[in-house]
Amino acid sequence: MKKRTLTIFLSCFFILAIFFIQRVVFEKRALSRGENLTGENIDNKIEMVINEKNRSKLVQMDVDKLLASRKEAENKEAKKASVNKSDEKPIESNAYEVKDDGTDFKSVFKDSLFIGDSISNGLLYYKHLSPENVMAIPGQSIKTTRKKMDDIKKKNPKNIYIMLGMNDSTYTELDSFKNAYSAMVEEIQANLPNTKIYLQSVLNVNPKNEKASSRISNPKIDSFNKAIAEIAKDKSLKFIDLRPFLQKNPAFYEPDGVHVNVKFYRTWLKFIQTNYFEVN
């Protein structure tokens, strides 16, 4: 009985001893894990946070550099635009105060050619210019004008004044018009490299004439004129804006609200002679 009790006591002692040893080892390992967590791992965490902040700073620096570069580019473009604008030397408003002084325009424009539609045809109708100096018929468009390129080349004028787009506006969209207009100008330049070419604005119809406005869209005419001005700038040509004449003098309109009367033509020619005419 005593032997059995001793055996049980020793067994319990060994079990408790093993349990105690495992507990000590466990706590030591736990302590070791705690030291790592508060030591090396924490240092790594701090370093990671610092790296994240540094990366954020670098990203912000890159963003700042890009913004600065964009600002610099915008300033250069603005400066360039300002220079180009000053080079254009826009016509002053008082230049449109034109008076008829009885000039013989047939003599002045004897070496020039006016290309256009029924508006330009009025130069012949009112006998301000000679037939050889006008190539314009009612309904003329860019397409029909390009078919006459051989005749334009044969005339070999010193100056060409183009006014086209009103008829095109009734069936052509802006992009197609601009491409066709640009191609026409390039074709003339290729055939007549020494000829001065001037691009004139398309005239708006009378906004107070409902019938005229229903046939021809003034907003579309304005978009065409913007395109013509851009073509002129791209090709280093002069753009002649005639619209202020009609804005200031609605009496120049014919009753149909589309065409212009005899008073407009001499004003038009005198304005060109004064501001856009070169004797080669």
State how far the alpha carbon of 238 is from the alpha carbons of 148, 253, 272, in Å: 23, 25, 11
Please identify which residue in the block is written with the tokens 């009612």: 138
Are 95 and 141 in contact by the 8 Å Cβ rule? The answer is: no
Question: What is the model's pLDDT at position 31?
Answer: 45
Distances in Å between the alpha carbon of 60 and those of 46, 55, 85, 90, 228?
A: 21, 8, 37, 44, 44
- Distances from the Cα of 248 to the Cαs of 97, 155, 244, in angstroms? 10, 35, 6
| Long-range contacts (CB closer than 8 Å, 24 or more residues apart) made by 110-113 | 111/157, 111/158, 111/159, 111/280, 112/157, 112/158, 112/159, 112/160, 112/161, 112/277, 113/152, 113/155, 113/157, 113/159, 113/160, 113/161
pTM of the model: 0.68
Q: The sheet that has 196-200: what strands, in order across it?
A: 134-136, 112-116, 159-163, 196-200, 238-240
CA-atom Rg of the chain in angstroms: 42
Any idea what the Cα angle at residue 159 is, between residues 240 and 136, rounded to 5°? 75
pLDDT tens for the chain, 280 residues: list them: 555 666 666 666 666 666 556 554 444 454 444 444 444 555 555 555 556 655 555 556 655 666 666 556 555 554 444 444 434 455 556 667 777 788 999 999 999 999 999 999 999 999 999 999 999 999 999 999 999 999 999 999 999 999 999 999 999 999 999 999 999 999 999 999 999 999 999 999 999 999 999 999 999 999 999 999 999 999 999 999 999 999 999 999 999 999 999 999 999 999 999 999 876 5
List all residues 6 or more positions away from 100 whose beta carbon is below 8 Å from its beta carbon: 266, 267, 270
